Structure 1
Amino acid sequence: MADEPIRVTVWGEGRHEKRDVNVASHYPDGMHATIASGITEYAGAAVAVRCVTLDDPDQGLPASLLASTDVLTWWGHIAHDEVSDDLVDRVQEAVLAGMGLVVLHSGHWSKIFKRLMGTSCALRWRNGDDRELVWTVDPAHPVAAGVPSPIEIPSQEMYGEFFDIPAPDELVFVSSFTGGEVFRSGCAWRRGRGRIFYFSPGDQDYPVYHHPDVRRVLANAAVWAAPAGPRSTTPIAYAAPDWFVTP
């Protein structure tokens, strides 16, 4: 399995570029296509990437496709409520069984991220064409490999604390903004057998996913989140049902 490419599925809403000429000018083929190209550009032969969108059959993620996905990336914003609870159940089960999940920008408010975090995942924000500096706080982490500190993003939406998430298992990046705000912008967790990475840069109004350093982070995160071995087909067992016998 080590010689086989990591099967990455890039999920996106596919809505903004159809409704907003500004977004379409940055992402004429959709944000999902630009995210996918960044992962392919920097991960190369280590990955095999495909794109799906919310408006595809089964909202882009039928059970058969999830079963053949090693890592799923998720970008959502204006259609969180349209994602079915059945799909959220399927994705959660896949993550617990070992599938990696990379959640991007406003995907912090997606049903699946809130389900896996168990909190509101709310934050402060200001869309004011701000400058973001992404500082590496764990340079030894694989997601930070080859990434300068800081990454300078000239135009971006501000995300700020408090970010209502569980304390990350690993904090990789922290961002600062011109208003003095700071934000935990690169966070890693494990849920069941699966790895989760959240990376905040990537508002639809700005060409952030064309930024070479951001694209390298996307590729690093996809490789890091991949399962170490075959996905499990059975849930984690805690104990045999007869482990305790009363006299």
Structure 2
Amino acid sequence: MTKIRALVWGENVHERTNEVVAGIYPDGMHACIAEALNASDRISAGTATLQEDEHGLTVERLAETDVLLWWGHCAHGEVSDEIVERVATAVHGGMGLIALHSAHFSKIFKRLMGTPCNLKWREAGERERLWVTAPRHPIVRGLPDHFELASEEMYGEPFGIPEPLETVLIGWFQGGEVFRSGVTYRRGVGNVFYFQPGHETYPTYHDENVRQVLRNAVEWAHNPAARIADPDAAPNVPVEEAPEKIEARGPRLHGEGEAGYR
């Protein structure tokens, strides 16, 4: 069986500068997420970070990636615009993208959404209850109808995103706010999922339900078809059939003969 090739991209800043974060994720959040994905026999996950050459997202690396997971927070502005466009092109061509937590404000997510992607937030270690709103969706396969995280950063509506293709999870917070915590999109032929939990000072990515969502999401986001090499280029293909051939057919009513005009 050919495994889905996932790549977990991490900013890798908090882990090196904050003792609390380093204590929870001694090898980095990206490594913890990759570990969760590699627990599946259908996924092979590697990692890349902001500090690597080309942020670890070379043309060759992206060509070998079926699904890219992105975690960022305090260094969105340090991501090269050239790399953002490279990733966007890969998504348009069929690579899946999973944006995690503060990646709602990343350059790549905002580029693909075309909106500010702003929201309300409060960091107070509040309990979050995540409700499954689409119980038959593959992203929530194997989950109960809801699960709880003892501590999470509150993200609240309004959330400045386009209307999602699907809303599969809604989060409720101890302060009373609600949030669209799991939403899907399609950009070009690439599948995109945004998943809200994952603040760096809480052990969210050690939670088994969260890890199950991540594994499910990778499988959902995977497009097995061959990548479109240049999805942003106009086809500029001439029409082969001459106008006289079209006229020779004569008019047809819709539903007549070959189901109308062809």
Is 1:227 matched with 2:203? no
User: Which residue of 2 is the match for residue 40 of structure 1?
Assistant: 38
Q: Which amino acid is the alignment partner of residue 8 of structure 2? A: V
User: Which residue of 1 is the match for residue 89 of structure 2?
Assistant: 93
- Unpaired runs of 5+ residues, structure 2, are 243-262
User: Which residue of 1 is the match for residue 173 of structure 2?
Assistant: 177
Deviation per CA, 1:101-144: give whole Å up to 9, x if none: 00000000000000000000000000000000000000111001
Q: Which amino acid is the alignment partner of residue 222 of structure 1? A: V
User: Which residue of 2 is the match for residue 127 of structure 1?
Assistant: 123
User: Which residue of 1 is the match for residue 16 of structure 2?
Assistant: 18
Is 1:207 matched with 2:191? no
Q: How does 1:146-165 map to 2 (within 5 A)?
A: 146-165=142-161
Aligned-pair CA distance for 1:173: 0.2
Q: Percent identity?
A: 50
- Unpaired runs of 5+ residues, structure 1, are none
Q: In 1, Cα distance between the equivalents of 2:220 and 2:186?
A: 12
Is 1:74 matched with 2:70? yes
User: Which residue of 2 is the match for residue 196 of structure 1?
Assistant: 192
After TM superposition, what 4+ stretches of structure 1 lie above 4 angstroms from structure 2? Answer: 236-243
Q: Which amino acid is the alignment partner of residue 194 of structure 1? A: G
Is 1:102 matched with 2:98? yes
How many residue pairs are counted as aligned between the two chains? 242
Cα gap change, 1:89 to 1:17, in 2 (>3 Å)? same
Q: In 2, Cα distance between the equivalents of 1:242 and 1:220?
A: 42
Q: What's the C-alpha RMSD, in Å, of the aligned pairs?
A: 1.7
Aligned-pair CA distance for 1:237: 7.4
- TM-score by length of structure 2 reads 0.89
User: Whose RCO is larger (CA < 8 A, sep 6+)?
Assistant: 1
- TM-score by length of structure 1 reads 0.94
Aligned-pair CA distance for 1:148: 1.6
Q: In 2, Cα distance between the equivalents of 1:29 and 1:237?
A: 40
